[in-house]
Amino acid sequence: MEIIEGARHRGDGLVQIAFADTREEAALIRGLLREGGIRSLAHQGSLDGPAVGAGLRTHSSRRIYVRTDDAPAARTLLAETMVEDPRESEIPEPANAAYLADAAGRRPRNYSLAGAWARAWIVSLALLGLALVAFLVLH
């Protein structure tokens, strides 16, 4: 979640006060504003298509708007309530980072999507061939 300080007007007297990464985060922010007596509007920021391996789930960000008169109170409420992720400040430097330059071995593989499909087809054809050979040997 990001609190927007600048006045980004949407029109109709609305000002953007926050940017939420997910629909659920936007719902939490709007619920918090509603509890504070501030009416808000969530507008889809961008539409990201389905990611590889994620199926049909989509990640869509939301922009949170309030009336111009309510913007300072809403920003104050969000700043007082929202807490940054404590894990970000607690994560120490990785233990092996000091010895990373001395590391030996192969580099990690980086396959493209075409390479992943090719591997899947090769493995499935090999398994199908083994099954055919086993079938012919047994009969």
Q: Which amino acid is at 44?
A: Q
Task: Please give the chain's pLDDT, 139 residues, in tens.
Answer: 566 666 555 567 888 888 888 888 889 999 999 999 999 988 876 655 445 545 455 567 788 999 989 989 998 898 888 766 555 566 566 655 666 667 677 766 667 778 888 999 999 999 999 999 999 999 8
SS3 17: strand
pLDDT of residue 90: 62
Contacts of 54 (CB under 8 A, 6+ apart): none
Q: Which CATH number characterizes residue 76's domain? A: 3.30.70.790
Q: Is 35 a domain residue?
A: yes
Question: Would you say the C-alpha torsion 12, 9, 67, 82 has a positive or negative sign?
Answer: positive
Q: Are 27 and 44 in contact (CB under 8 A)?
A: no
> Is pTM, for the whole model, over 0.85?
no
Q: Is 117 a domain residue?
A: no
Q: Is 138 a domain residue?
A: no
Q: What residues make up the domain containing 44?
A: 2-86
Each residue of 104-122: b (16+ CB within 10 Å) or e? eeeeeeeeeeeeeeeeeee
Q: Is 137 a domain residue?
A: no
Give the pair of three-digit tokens for residue 50: 């389905």
> Using CA atoms, how far apart are residues 39 and 22, in angstroms rounded to an integer?
19
Q: Is 55 a domain residue?
A: yes
Tally of domains within the chain: 1
Q: Are 104 and 96 in contact (CB under 8 A)?
A: no
